[in-house]
Amino acid sequence: MNYTGKIKNILLSSVILTAAFAAQATPRTVMVHLFEWKWNDIARECETYLGPNGFSGVQVSPPNEHAIVEGQPWYQRYQPVSYILNSRSGNREEFVNMVKTCKKAGVDIYVDAVINHMTGILPKGEERIGSSGSKFGHFSYPDYSYDDFHHCGRNGDDNIHNYGDRYEVQNCALVGLADLKIEKDYVRDRIAKYLNELVDIGVAGFRIDAAKHMSTNSLNEILKRVKGNPYIYQEVIDQGGEPIQASEYFQNGDVTEFKYSVDMSRVMQNGKLHWLNNKAQFGEGWAYMPSDKAVVFIDNHDNQRGHGGGGHILNYQSGRQYELASVLMLAWPYGYPQVMSSFAFTSPNTSPPANSDLSTKDVNCLSREAGPQAQEGWVCEHRWPMIREMVNFRNMTSSKFYLSNWWSNGNNQIAFSRGDLGFVVINHEDQDLKQTLQTGMAEGLYCDVLSNNCERTIQVRANGEADIAVSAQNAAAIHIGHKLN
């Protein structure tokens, strides 16, 4: 697997992992999506938490001017009005400060770039105001006019109805949103100008929203006009059975592997963990895209709400199951993982936590215990201790990007190592695990990083074996960075 190609985009510095570790930097290999956070809060989080805890980057919500929708649901951020950097998360000055602050902390900023479409199509004659005060109307925006959009001439309403028809998917309106004609040079230049402004500010990469709804070659022509070499990952929901495939987009960068999220949730909820390495290893062995092209997650802002390839997806409301799935994702050698950091929701359209004037509240993370039951507030899963410690585990073991010393009980207790750099045990059963296992680690006493302040330790003998005890619905992990003697 060509994981080296992935690491080069997210390293703080080039390193060789050795047993010493003390004087060496380690790679940063996990990003987080701080969904709907304000720029000032993200800047603070980079300084105080993300940088010190080894996160590689932050996916931020779309920073440009957006529609103001009744009730201010989260999805109004995905209805652009203009490319002015003034949104619910803050203004341009605050955005610039966030990018600089995070970069200083060793954390990259990845912008969620909504370039396939503008707002919902308004009736003729109707005019509204965006989040920065810009007027917009029926196929009319500060940067675009009627001829800059597709008018696909199908289905009466111009919406996509048949996902088996490539033309409809890429030329008709996605859920009623005005579809930009990105094969037009003017449109390509205008989008590239927006992306280049962000690159000039210091943005390190882009998530391309709704990439599936743009032809890969047209998207490629836009990206060719973008300065430097930003990290690109594209939202392409490909679960088979449709004409548009994720592999078409590899020429542009990485791609979101939605099958990973679906299968991880299925295995954790209704399956058996031993399936993960039974006949074919979870990842490419399950007919996923190549590891060095895949961005993976347990849930994202769409499918945790039942949208965008969702349905029975684990999320923060799943509690302990979600934590164990996150441990597994961060230990498993496949893809570039993204941790979701949510706000509580009770309906698919819930807006972020808001003040009485509907402005977004400052982030005040709920306690871990409040998370699954929370009716409102910032959940902040990335701060849950197990997830935090497994980010460090993945960083520490990244140079041995393969699985070894696999063990399972044939059901929902599994263990494996990452070469001689780390070892993890997951007990997704309602009974304790007690087993002598081959860890692959050097002899010594190690902190179980998933215990509270190293209250549990694991003694590895000279032959690499250790006596492992893990309570029901729990996990343990050791790595060379926390070798005690």
pLDDT of residue 292: 98
Q: 418-436, pLDDT tens digit by residue?
A: 999 999 999 999 999 999 9
The answer on pLDDT for 108 being more than 50 is yes
pLDDT of residue 174: 95
Task: Record the pTM.
Answer: 0.93
Residue 437 identity (one-letter amino acid): L
Query: Are 396 and 15 spatial neighbours (Cβ–Cβ below 8 Å)?
Result: no
The answer on pLDDT for 407 being more than 50 is yes
The answer on pLDDT for 299 being more than 80 is yes
Query: Are 81 and 67 spatial neighbours (Cβ–Cβ below 8 Å)?
Result: yes
Report the C-alpha gap between 61 and 394 in whole angstroms.
25
Beta bridge partners of 425: 415, 476
pLDDT of residue 275: 96
Q: Which domains does the chain have, with CATH numbers?
A: 3-397 (3.20.20.80), 404-482 (2.60.40.1180)
> Residue 179 to residues 77, 79, 207, 219, 362: CA-CA distances in angstroms?
16, 11, 18, 14, 34
Helix ranges restricted to H, 142-226: 166-171, 185-201, 216-223
Query: Are 339 and 326 spatial neighbours (Cβ–Cβ below 8 Å)?
Result: yes
Q: Which residue has the higher pLDDT, 453 or 130?
A: 130
Instruction: Calculate mean pLDDT across residues 350-368.
Output: 92
Element (H, E) at 326: helix 320-331
Q: CA 116, 119, 123, 129 torsion: positive or negative?
A: negative
Burial 223-235 (b: 16+ CB within 10 A, else e): beebeeebbbbbb
Burial 275-309 (b: 16+ CB within 10 A, else e): bbbeeebbbeeeebbbbbbbbbbbbbbbbbbeebb
Instruction: Calculate mean pLDDT across residues 450-470.
Output: 96
Residue 284 DSSP code: G
The answer on pLDDT for 165 being more than 80 is yes
Q: 195-242, pLDDT tens digit by residue?
A: 999 999 999 999 999 999 999 999 999 999 999 999 999 999 998 889
Q: 263-295, pLDDT tens digit by residue?
A: 999 999 999 999 999 989 999 999 999 999 999
- Token representation of residue 172: 């008709």
Task: Round the average pLDDT of the chain to a whole number and report it.
Answer: 92
Report the C-alpha gap between 371 and 428 in whole angstroms.
20
- Token representation of residue 327: 């441990």
The answer on pLDDT for 16 being more than 80 is no
State the DSSP string of 98-134: HHHHHHHTT-EEEEEE--SEEEEPPPTT--EE-TTS-
- Token representation of residue 312: 């029975």
Query: Are 394 and 331 spatial neighbours (Cβ–Cβ below 8 Å)?
Result: yes
- Please measure the distance between the N-terminal and C-terminal CA atoms of the chain and give it in whole angstroms: 33
pLDDT of residue 311: 62
pLDDT of residue 10: 39
Instruction: Estimate the share of the chain in helix, then strand, then coil, as percent rounded to the nearest 5.
Output: 30, 20, 50
Element (H, E) at 392: helix 385-397
Beta bridge partners of 232: 206
Three-state DSSP state, 220: helix
What angle separates helix 258-270 from helix 320-331, to the nearest 10 degrees? Answer: 130
Report the C-alpha gap between 366 and 369 in whole angstroms.
8
Q: Which residue has the higher pLDDT, 18 or 119?
A: 119
pLDDT of residue 26: 86
Instruction: Calculate mean pLDDT across residues 372-387.
Output: 92
pLDDT of residue 161: 93
Give the residue numbers annotated as catalytic, written as ranges.
Answer: 209, 235
pLDDT of residue 19: 33
Instruction: Calculate mean pLDDT across residues 301-328.
Output: 85
Backbone φ, ψ for residue 481 (5° rounding): -70, -15
Q: How many CA atoms lie within 13 A of 210 on its CB side?
A: 24
Kindly compute the dihedral angle of the four CA atoms of residues 417, 418, 419, 420, in this order, to the nearest 10 degrees: -80
